[in-house]
A and B are shown apart, each in its own frame.
Chain A
Amino acid sequence: MSEFLAMGGYAPYVWSAYGITLVVVLLNIWTARRARIRPLERLARTADEARPRRQPTVRQVQ
């Protein structure tokens, strides 16, 4: 295992390259998911606000 991690002496190069790739891909996943969900949430909110209040019935007014 430690031999695997040592990468034949190239550990800093190999693991930093893979580490940065992992971070960038995870950031991509997070921002892309947010880009999909945010507009839907905004739409759901505005739909709530725009929904017309129910008018009182004639009996209730009397």
Chain B
Amino acid sequence: MLGLPRWFHRWASPPHVYELAERWRPWLGGLALLTILGGAYGGLVLAPPDYLQGDSFRIIYVHVPSAYLSMMGYTLMAVAAAIGFVWRIKLAHAVAVSIAPIGASFTFLALVTGGIWGRPTWGTYWEWGDARLMFELLLLFLYLGYMALRASFEDRDKADRVSAILAVVGVVNVPIIHYSVEWWSTLHQGPTIAKLDTPSITFDMLAPLLVMIAGFTLCFAWLVLNRLQGEIVEREHDARWLRRFAEAVR
């Protein structure tokens, strides 16, 4: 099998990563809170109403960050699962496991806030014929399928290996979601920011969106670190280095 560079091994060491998470977590949480509050103020108060959609467009500031995280989360989960599968690194599987429920919740949010936005804009909450909507729904089922598949195994190592295959195969859905609005243009509008041309949105509207995406990403990282620490303790419960952390919660 392919060799890994030396520096990588530190990142495969549970005590090292647990301690880093313990140190970074409070800073990440505080920064996430400030960024989201700032972004929400910008999106709800400072940004001007849209000339066509009026104030309903403000849903973009929760919809786009959720949709972005649903896809970014799945990609990270698949990469972590692949690393765990190929190099047999347990910590990588722990990362994938930690991402799954968080990614699923943001996928749910992207679908629900999109539906709410669709009602005044398209005249419907849901359209079975729209490719973007269908593939985003498939993404939710991939997350849930990954979790259900894991739950069906007693043996954790077996669950790691089998669920990694599902995670990796399912990642083809992510570029399909991204390009769906160009390949099959139906109801969902085309890309606003992530395209080679200049963004088709004015700076007053774009700035809060970028802040919100940053805030949601920080929040996502905070959530993953929490779950990862729990997952590490479950997998390493016999290790001596964990004792002082266990003492602290007594």
Most B Cβ at <10 Å: residue of A17, A41, A47: A17
Contact with A along B101-116 (1 / 0, CB 8 A): 1100110110011001
Complex-state Cα separation, A28 to B58, whole angstroms: 23
Task: Identify the closest chain A residue to B108 (Cβ).
Answer: A24
Whether A18 and B62, one on each chain, are in contact in the complex, defined by CB atoms closer than 8 angstroms, is yes
Say yes or no for A58: interface residue by CB 8 A criterion.
no
Task: Determine if B54 and A29 form an interchain contact, defined as CB atoms under 8 angstroms apart.
Answer: no
CB atoms of A43 and B242 under 8 A apart: yes
The chain A residue sitting closest to B59, CB to CB, is A17
A residues 7-44 in Cβ contact with B at 8 Å: 7-10, 13-14, 16-18, 20-21, 24-25, 27-29, 31-33, 35-44
**Chain A CB within 8 A of B227 CB:** yes
Residue of A nearest to B235 (CB): A39
Across the interface, do B59 and A8 meet the contact criterion of CB distance under 8 Å? Answer: no
Residue of B54, B63, B66, B249 with highest tally of chain A CB at under 10 A: B249
Tell me whether B234 and A17 are in contact (CB under 8 A): no
| A28 engages B105 (CB within 8 Å) | yes
User: Closest Cβ of chain A: how far from B86's Cβ, in Å?
Assistant: 26
